[in-house]
Amino acid sequence: MAKFKFKKGDTVEVIAGDDKGTKAEVLQVMPKKNKVIVKGVRVAKKTVKPSEQNPQGGFISKEMPIDASNVRKVEA
């Protein structure tokens, strides 16, 4: 298996998909799945039930993984 190109904290640019052209920071890497989570990219709304951490319940916004081939490293 080849070495993974990205690490947490890198600045990347999205080169494919709805968020094409967005430059942001990598929050998490998943080398076995070949995916990365990028701040503010591919944000989904998730419904949550009331709990101790979130007594109101409702919706939260969550970044979803994007394939590593759809991002490119940007020199900071």
| Residue ranges covered by each domain of the chain | 11-73
For the segment 65-69, the average pLDDT, to the nearest whole number, is 96
CA 57-48-23 angle, 5° bins: 110
Asked if the model's pLDDT at residue 3 lies above 90, the reply is no
CATH 2.30.30.30 describes domain 11-73:
yes
Question: Which pLDDT score, from 0 to 100, does residue 75 have?
Answer: 84
Question: Which pLDDT score, from 0 to 100, does residue 18 have?
Answer: 93
Tell me if 73 sits within 8 A of 11, measured CB to CB: yes
Question: Which pLDDT score, from 0 to 100, does residue 76 have?
Answer: 63
pTM, 2 dp: 0.84
